[in-house]
Amino acid sequence: MAFPDFAKPKALFVNAPHRVPDEDLIKLNELVDAYVIQQDRHDVLAERIRRAVAENGPFIAYVQFTDWWNLPEPWPLDEKLLSPLVDTGCKMFTCPGAGYDWADVEYLTSKGCYFANTPKSPALRTADSTAMMILQALRGSSEREADARAGRWYDSTKPLAKDARSSVLGILGLGTIGKLVSEHMQHFGMKVIYHNRTRLPPEEENGAEYVSFDQLLALSDVISLHCPLNESTRHLFNEQVFENMKDGMIIVNTARGAVIDEDALVKALDSGKVLRAALDVFEFEPRIHSGLVSSPHTTLYPHCAVANETFLRDQRLEVLLNLKTFIETGKPVNAVNVLI
């Protein structure tokens, strides 16, 4: 039977780091004593955390290897869930994923705690999937595939595929993912414009042109969403915003479902204001709006833009890098907040 090395700091893990290479697990074991509990819904996980702290704490870090598809979701990561850790000196919380709208970062910051995400591993896969979805929507591939599966041959009465080389892509949020999408689509000949709250330095724009939000709506043939979900972006794309867009435009969303008012999108699809929509995220997922499911003009994915054979390995290594840098320097490499 192995006993903890009390000279090493202790970290609380939610789920074991499966799919991590053996050599990285060896390095992890040299760095920290890990105590593992299993992910569950919020109330069950809260009790498991409380018990773990009482029996094995205190912990310097909370490390969550989220199982996105097989276990109940534990959200939100809030005071009710995390206070037993925070109150006993835990100073770093890290979870996989680029977005973190489910984490109460304001609470953690007020308690002098870091929250760290994993921006790199999901960014690469999400950008690849977004590029695919843009091309699918431009070509109307979901409609054509449905026809072929139903035994219907090419229907020339349906809208023709749009040409990427003569189309303008508008990106809302030229961050890590947005920049990769911009590079991908410029290879297909698209002109790229973007809107951020603040314009990027010219050397970071890489061929994309900065425009106002209203200009983004008016000029884009395709709009791809890469902004975080917060109170200012919830239902940002509402009925009025759709009205201000080009007729027959395309919208692609791999950010957060609630950035779009889905009732307004369905109405815009039904009227033809929006020609097609390609969506990987939904406001009330896993439930998808019935109007989006029934529309022949949608390409729908079950929030799997990041999923490929190497994703979990790379994401978990990025989580462990947050832990390693926190132990060695006092700050995780991907901290999303600043402590004063």
- Which helix (H) or strand (E) covers residue 47, if one does? helix 42-56
Q: Answer yes or no: are the C-beta atoms of 106 and 338 closer than 8 Å.
A: no
Range from 111-115, 151-155, 162-166, 261-265 carrying the lowest mean pLDDT:
151-155
Cβ-count burial 128-155 (b if 16+ within 10 Å, e if not): bbbbbbbbbbbbbbbbbeebeeeeeeee
E-strand spans in the chain?
10-14, 33-37, 61-64, 92-94, 114-116, 168-172, 191-195, 209-210, 222-225, 249-253, 274-279, 298-300
- Band of residue 81 on the pLDDT scale cut at 50, 70, 90: very high
E-strand spans in 131-221?
168-172, 191-195, 209-210
- Band of residue 69 on the pLDDT scale cut at 50, 70, 90: confident
Model confidence over 268-280: pLDDT tens digits?
A: 999 999 999 999 9
| AA letter at 15 | N
Model confidence over 117-140: pLDDT tens digits?
A: 999 999 999 999 999 999 999 999
Please name which of 337, 318, 326, 334 lies closest in space to residue 90, comparing C-alpha atoms. 326
* Amino acid 99: pLDDT: 87
Annotated active-site residue 256? The verdict is yes
pLDDT > 80? residue 4: no
Reduce the DSSP state of residue 153 to 3 states and report it.
coil
Check 125, 195, 226, 256 and give the catalytic one.
Answer: 256
Residues 6+ apart with CB under 8 A from 93: 61, 62, 64, 77, 82, 85, 103, 108, 113, 114, 115, 116
- Residue 265: both structure tokens together: 């999108």
Annotated active-site residue 285? The verdict is yes
The dihedral through the CA atoms of 78, 82, 83, 87 has a sign that is negative
The dihedral through the CA atoms of 27, 29, 31, 35 has a sign that is positive
Please name which of 142, 148, 204 lies closest in space to residue 176, comparing C-alpha atoms. 204
Domains of the chain, first to last: 10-120+310-329 (3.40.50.720), 123-300 (3.40.50.720)
Q: Answer yes or no: are the C-beta atoms of 225 and 172 closer than 8 Å.
A: yes
Check 73, 79, 183, 285 and give the catalytic one.
Answer: 285
Annotated active-site residue 48? The verdict is no
Long-range CB contacts (within 8 A, 24+) of 311-315:
311/121, 311/122, 311/125, 312/18, 312/19, 313/19, 313/20, 313/21, 314/120, 314/121, 315/96, 315/97, 315/118, 315/121, 315/122
